[in-house]
Each structure stands twice: as structure tokens, then as C-alpha cells.
């Protein structure tokens, strides 16, 4: 059998040679590509990559702008800034954030209740951002961290500007406060503009004017080594480092007069309530007090969850801005407006006297509408009815006017809508009408407007609800005999560089139409009677100026037909609210005021004395004489 060749050496050699050639060509092409790429990187784009490499040596650090000051109308500081230490974390430099937070809790630098919120903020931040996790550290906190510094990679203590409120809780509901930038804040702010900034306005003026107060950040370039630490030089490389100075935020000059604010809060101290005083000729808010209040510094230093919970759960609601957000029936303070409506619509003869026997009977109804404390005023005309706050007279007036005309007439006085003050959070209150009731209630049976509801409307009860700010605005319109100015807190900006003032012009909203000069004079005369011989005569006694006012008492709950109201036998929080509005001097008003004392009882005994103290503080000099008008 012939031999068989199993292996073809020549064929294998040719195959190998072919593969070697192909491999050589591929290697040659790859080498050529590599050389070409190197040439492109090292020669053609040398300048570009050189700049990038040098840029790795230079780090840009933000220089936060100083937050603008907030001043009262006389230049007294209400909110400023001061340096403080705070603990900051760079997420991308921290190996294990959960473990880091746990160890910070263990050494007492972070509260366990705050960890979840801090971690949410960290998750919402960019990896290279410096995130504040503890604001306004004490010397003890700084020392404690310094001892453990080596254990915490990516954490460091920074010196930052923090907010300072020299007057504590004074005017806090007007000022508002600043707090740590939260996860929600990060969704709507320009992160670059807030780089290096840990605080942002949350409420009040601090929030409404955040853009003006914040300013514009600057920056500085810092030479760093491979570890990221700043150095003076790296070998022979000494770069030209750039610096841009920040532009401080504008200072705000408020219309608040801190002297008046202190008197208002001192007079209301120990009670729940609000005081709002307005210059009726400009809309400037001279005082805006809501008690109880809280210390805004708590938020500036970083309020803990337990501290915030205590404020939220406090039965007296210190976080509630009663001046803007508290809504209450205005009680008899509405009567001057109702009297004007009756005069304007010619549904009353002001000199005609009507008899008050202490009760009013609506035709066709068995319900009896009684006087407050079952008083009996006897024969009264319009002046008497205002001065002595005769409910029976105004029950009848409301019945004749009807809800449609009452609602239409009172609307220009600002009821049922926000006044437009330049801070947020204001509630509109309720100006009831047939249309309002149809929208407010779902069931057809509840949408019907009943005559008895109109009668209640006549003495400021029922569905009518107002805020103390609205009632002060209403008082200011009465004071100017119909001129309407939008309330405001900021009256000027001040340039922090040169101190130059830029006034904010007051904003007119027109006038109440259709009321004659004689009708204004008659209603104001009745309100002067309130303080001279009427329900508030006790506080008008020996006043060195003539002022107009109106007391009001608002029921918190309804007393049954066969029962009598007895404050001493009911829970304090169910007692009537006390109101008083006033303006002074009556002939040339310079201040209008509304005072609310929750559960204070009669307006004459609780709210009115507070108003007198504020009026005196604003109008009288040290000798007790009326100061000349500015």
C-alpha cells in the first residue's frame, strides 16, 4: 500500500507567510495611527491640552456675597450678618456617606433626627459641591471636630457669613428668617449663584426680597497639588491667579418703626393676637406684630427636628403669622362700613332715631337676634349706633340693604381678597355673597342665602372673615375718606457701597367711589364718638389728640337662644375675640391701626388699650405733646 502524506509543509508555510504579512500591515497601520494621534495631541493640540493640564492645578473657589442688611425706617438694624463656622461635606470625596453621618451623630456634631434631611440634600447636590451639614458651630463643636478631623475624609470646617437678628423675635413675622438651602430649594435656584452659600430666605421680607438681598458671588483661583490642597507654587510653575470680588446684596429699608413695633409687642405680650399699624397716606406698614413669635436665629443656625416639632405642636401656634394668615369675624368693626353703605344707597336717614330694646326680630322668623350682653340702648340715631355699637340698629340696616349691596360696597375696602402687601402668605379672608355661597357649598340646599345670614353680616358675624392686616387697611381707607394705598413693608433700597438711597414709590389703588364728603364726615364723627362718649371712652379719656375708633367683639362659638354668654364659665380659648380699629388724628390722620386679641373678650377692655399705647408712642413726644407732622 503506497505511503500517504498527512502534512503539507509548503502549504502551511505559505499560509503562515500570508498571516505574518497581514499582521505586519495591521501593526504598521496601528503604529502609524498611534504616531498620528500622538502628533495630534502633542503637537497640533499642544496649547489646548496644556491649558487643561494647567487648569487641573488651579481650583476656582466661590467667594459668597455679603447678604444685604435689613433696616427699620430710622436706620436701626433689624437683620445683619456675622461670621460663623460651619461643617461642610464634598460628596465625591467621602467614601461612605451613611457611615460618616453615623460617626458624626456618635460624636454629637449632627442630631440623629436630622440625618435623613441632610442625606436628601446631599443626594440632590452635585458631587463636587460643598454641602453644609452643620451651621453656626460653637467653639466647643469646632474643637470636637478638630480632634476627630483625621477620621473624616471630605469634611472640613469653613468660615461663612450667617444671619444675625439683634432684636431676637421682634417683628419676626414681618422679617421672616433664613434657613439652610434644602432639597426643594435646589430645584428652583441657580446653583452657581448660591455656590458657597448655605442660607436662603424662607419667609417674610427675607424670602420676598431674596434676589435683592443675596447679591452676586465672586471667585478666586487657588493653586492646588495632586492631593487637592492649596500651595503657593508647584516647581517653576507660578500661575497668574484671578480673583473677582463679590457684590454685596442691597440693603432694605423697611417702613417698620421699631419704636412702635416694640410698644405694640410689649402691649400685646402674654396674649395671642396681632397689631398692624399703617400710614394711611402711603400704605407704609409702621408695625406688624403677631404674638406669640419665635427666635429666627434658630433657623439661621440650623433648627433641629425636635425644635421645629416643638414650634409646630405648640398650642399657641408661634409660627402662624396672625397678621396675614389669621382669619376671624371682624365683629362690630364692620359697622362704619355698613353705615357708609346705607348712606350711599340712601336706605337710612341718619337723624332718624330707632328704638333698641335689646333684641331684633326678623319678619317671618322665630329666631331672636340679641344685643351683645343683652344691652338695651333705647332711642338711637346713626351717630349713637356707631358710638355705642348698637347691634339692633345694624341688624335692621343690614336687612334693608341686603347682602348684594353690602358685598358690592365693601369690596373696594379690601375684604375678600389679599391687600397685596409685598410679602407672601397673605390669606384673602371671606366677603360673603350669594355668588360666593353657591361656589363654597356643594349641596344645593346649602347654597341658598338666607335673610338671617344678612342680619348676622350686619354686625360682622357669620361667614365674613378678615385678617388683622385687612382690617388695618380698611381703617386706613376710612381715615383718608376713601383713598386706597397698597400696604408695603419695603420703602427703599440702599446701595451697600455708597449708602445711596433708592426710594420705592407708594402704590395708589384709586379711591372708593360714590361716597359723598358729607357721608364720610358723618361716619367719622360717629367713630370719634366711640372714643369720646361711646364704647371706647375709657381709652379716649384725656387723649391730647382727637381720634376715631371702633370696638369689635367676635364670637368664637354660637350661644343658644335660651342661654347667656358667660366668659368665666367657658374655656378660655372659646371666649370672644377682641378687636379695635382706629386712626389719628381724626382730621389729619397719620396712623391707622387694627388690634386683635384672641379670646380677649370685649374690644373696649382688651384691644382698645393696646391701640391707645401704640397711637401715643407714634404721635406724642417725650413730653406727652403731639409731634408736628413730618
Positions marked active-site: 332
All cell numbers assigned to 139 = 467653639
Determine whether 359 is exposed, middle or buried from the number of CB atoms within 10 Å of its CB (0-12, 13-18, 19+).
middle
Closest CA to 420 of 208, 626, 181, 144: 208
Helix (H, G, I), strand (E, B) or coil at 224: strand
Q: Are strands 199-201 and 178-180 parallel, antiparallel or unpaired?
A: antiparallel
C-beta of residue 28 within 8 angstroms of C-beta of residue 36:
no
**d(Cα 359, Cα 369) in Å, to the nearest integer?**
6
Per-residue HEC secondary structure of 293-315 comes to CCCCHHHHCCCCHHHHHHHHHCC
Q: Are strands 70-71 and 131-137 parallel, antiparallel or unpaired?
A: unpaired
Q: Are strands 251-254 and 70-71 parallel, antiparallel or unpaired?
A: parallel
All cell numbers assigned to 282 = 402711603
**d(Cα 133, Cα 194) in Å, to the nearest integer?**
16
C-beta of residue 605 within 8 angstroms of C-beta of residue 539:
no
Closest CA to 454 of 404, 519, 387: 404
Q: How many CA atoms within 13 Å lie on the side-chain side of 245?
A: 4
C-beta of residue 376 within 8 angstroms of C-beta of residue 384:
no
Amino acid at each position: 500500500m503506497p505511503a500517504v502524506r498527512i502534512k503539507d509543509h509548503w502549504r502551511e508555510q505559505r499560509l503562515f507567510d500570508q498571516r505574518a504579512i497581514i499582521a505586519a500591515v495591521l501593526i504598521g497601520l496601528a503604529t502609524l495611527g498611534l504616531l498620528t494621534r500622538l502628533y495630534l495631541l502633542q503637537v497640533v493640540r499642544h496649547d489646548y491640552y496644556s491649558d487643561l493640564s494647567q487648569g487641573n492645578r488651579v481650583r476656582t473657589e466661590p467667594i459668597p456675597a455679603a447678604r444685604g442688611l435689613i433696616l427699620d425706617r430710622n436706620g436701626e438694624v433689624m437683620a445683619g450678618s456675622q461670621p460663623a463656622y460651619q461643617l461642610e461635606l464634598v460628596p465625591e470625596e467621602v467614601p461612605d456617606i451613611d457611615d460618616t453621618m453615623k460617626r458624626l451623630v456618635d460624636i454629637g456634631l449632627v442630631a440623629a433626627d436630622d440625618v435623613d434631611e441632610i442625606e436628601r440634600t446631599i443626594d440632590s447636590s452635585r458631587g463636587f459641591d460643598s454641602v453644609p451639614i452643620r451651621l453656626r458651630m460653637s467653639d466647643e463643636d469646632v474643637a470636637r471636630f478638630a480632634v476627630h478631623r483625621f477620621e473624616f475624609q471630605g469634611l472640613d470646617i469653613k468660615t461663612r457669613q450667617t444671619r444675625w437678628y439683634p432684636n431676637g423675635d421682634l417683628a419676626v413675622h414681618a422679617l421672616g428668617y433664613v434657613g439652610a438651602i434644602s432639597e426643594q430649594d435646589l430645584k428652583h435656584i441657580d446653583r452657581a449663584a448660591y455656590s458657597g452659600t448655605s442660607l436662603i430666605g424662607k419667609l417674610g421680607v427675607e424670602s420676598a426680597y431674596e434676589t435683592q438681598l443675596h447679591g452676586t458671588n465672586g471667585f478666586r483661583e487657588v493653586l492646588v497639588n495632586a492631593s487637592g490642597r492649596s500651595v503657593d507654587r508647584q516647581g517653576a510653575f507660578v500661575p497668574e491667579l484671578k480673583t473677582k470680588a463679590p457684590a454685596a446684596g442691597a440693603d432694605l429699608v423697611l417702613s417698620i418703626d421699631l419704636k412702635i413695633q416694640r410698644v405694640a409687642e410689649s402691649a400685646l405680650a402674654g396674649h395671642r393676637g396681632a397689631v398692624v399699624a399703617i400710614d394711611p397716606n402711603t400704605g407704609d406698614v409702621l408695625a406688624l406684630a403677631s404674638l406669640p413669635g419665635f427666635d429666627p436665629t434658630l433657623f439661621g443656625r440650623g433648627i433641629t427636628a425636635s425644635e421645629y416639632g416643638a414650634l409646630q405642636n405648640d398650642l399657641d401656634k408661634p409660627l402662624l403669622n396672625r397678621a396675614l394668615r389669621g382669619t376671624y369675624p371682624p365683629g362690630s368693626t364692620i359697622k362704619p362700613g355698613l353705615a357708609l353703605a346705607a348712606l350711599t344707597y340712601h336706605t337710612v336717614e341718619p337723624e332718624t332715631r330707632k328704638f333698641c330694646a335689646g333684641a331684633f326680630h326678623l319678619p317671618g322668623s322665630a329666631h331672636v337676634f340679641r344685643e351683645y350682653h343683652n344691652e338695651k340702648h333705647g332711642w338711637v340715631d346713626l351717630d349713637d349706633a356707631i358710638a355705642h355699637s348698637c347691634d339692633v340698629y345694624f341688624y335692621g340696616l343690614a336687612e334693608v340693604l341686603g347682602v348684594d349691596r353690602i358685598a358690592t360696597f365693601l369690596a373696594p375696602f379690601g375684604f375678600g381678597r389679599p391687600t397685596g402687601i409685598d410679602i407672601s402668605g397673605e390669606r384673602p379672608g371671606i366677603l360673603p355673597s350669594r355668588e360666593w355661597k353657591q361656589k363654597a357649598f356643594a349641596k344645593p340646599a346649602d347654597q341658598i342665602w338666607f335673610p338671617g345670614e344678612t342680619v348676622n353680616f350686619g354686625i360682622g358675624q357669620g361667614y365674613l372673615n378678615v385678617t388683622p392686616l385687612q382690617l388695618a387697611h380698611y381703617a386706613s381707607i376710612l381715615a383718608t375718606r376713601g383713598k386706597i394705598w397698597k400696604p408695603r413693608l419695603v420703602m427703599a433700597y440702599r446701595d451697600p457701597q455708597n449708602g445711596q438711597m433708592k426710594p420705592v414709590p407708594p402704590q395708589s389703588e384709586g379711591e372708593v367711589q360714590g361716597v359723598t364728603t358729607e357721608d364720610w364726615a358723618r361716619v367719622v364723627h360717629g367713630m370719634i364718638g366711640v372714643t369720646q362718649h361711646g364704647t371706647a371712652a375709657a381709652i379716649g379719656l384725656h387723649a391730647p389728640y382727637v381720634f376715631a375708633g371702633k370696638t369689635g367683639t367676635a364670637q368664637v362659638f354660637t350661644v343658644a337662644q335660651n342661654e347667656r354668654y358667660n366668659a368665666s364659665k367657658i374655656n378660655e380659648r372659646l371666649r370672644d375675640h377682641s378687636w379695635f380699629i382706629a386712626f389719628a388724628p381724626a382730621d389729619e390722620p397719620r396712623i391707622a391701626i387694627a388690634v386683635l386679641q384672641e379670646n380677649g373678650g370685649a374690644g373696649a377692655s382688651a384691644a382698645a388699650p393696646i391701640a391707645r399705647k401704640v397711637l401715643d408712642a407714634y404721635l406724642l413726644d417725650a413730653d406727652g405733646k403731639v409731634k408736628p407732622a413730618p
